[in-house]
Amino acid sequence: MAGSPKISVVMSVLNGSKYMDKGIQSIIDQSFSDWEFIICDDGSNDETWQKLLNYAKEDSRIIPIKNEKNMGLAYSLNKCIRIARSNILARQDADDESDPKRFEIQYPYIVSHPEYAIVGTSWYNIDETGYKWETHPLADPIAKDLIWDGGFMHPSWMMYKDQLSKVGYYTEGELTRRDQDYHLVLKLYGAGMKMHNMNNVLY
C-alpha cells in the first residue's frame, strides 16, 4: 500500500513492564528503519500499558493497542495483524532480542523469495549464566520434522500477510492457546504453502 511501512512488526505482551524493554529496544535499534511496531498489551495488570504509551510518545512508529482482559497470544497477534499496514509482517517476543541487522538481512530475502509464506532465522540460546550458543534449524523442514523440535523459531518469523489470510491467520481458542505457531505451520503446509529457515543467526 502506498505510504505504508515496508515491515509491520507484531508483538503481544502480558505483564512485561520489567522485562520488555530490551525486546522493544532491539526493534528501535534496527539498521533497517522503515517499519511500524504494533504492540498489544494482553490485559496486563502492571505498568505495561503506561510504558507502551511512553514508547509511542518517543517514537511514532510504535502503535500500542490493548485488550481489556487476557485473551491469549493467538487473539492478540491476529488483532495486530489485522491493523498492520504492510504485507510483510515480522514477529518479536517481548522477552527476546533481535540482532540489529535482522531486518536489513531478512527483509530482502523474503521479498526475493515470494514462494515462502514464512521465513524464519537461526538463533542464539542464552542460559541463566549468560552462556550463549547457536541453533541452526533445518532450512526446509517438512511436516514430520515438526514432531521433534517444532522446526522453526516462531518469533524470528517474517510472514506474508496475504498468504496467512488464506488460512485464517492464527487459530484462536483454548486448544491452540500454547501452540498457535505450531498449528499455523500445519495449516500452511496443509494448504500447500512453503516455509524456510535462513542460516543467519539473527534472533
Per residue in 178-188, pLDDT (tens digit) is 788 889 999 99
Give pLDDT, residue 2. 55
Residue 147 has pLDDT above 80, yes or no: no
For 110, the 3-state DSSP assignment is helix
Provide the pLDDT confidence category of residue 157 given band limits of 50, 70 and 90: very high
Q: How far apart are the first and last CA of the chain?
A: 28
Give the residue from 89, 103, 105 showing the smallest Cα distance to 10.
89
**Interhelix angle for 180-190 vs 73-83, to 10°?**
60
How many helices (H) does the chain have, and how many strands (E)? 7, 8
The verdict on pTM exceeding 0.85 is yes
Check if the beta carbon of residue 182 is closer than 8 Å to that of residue 145: no
Give pLDDT, residue 1. 52
The greatest distance separating any two alpha carbons of the chain, rounded to the nearest whole angstrom, comes to 47
Ordered alpha helix ranges (H), 113-154: 146-149
Provide the pLDDT confidence category of residue 143 given band limits of 50, 70 and 90: confident
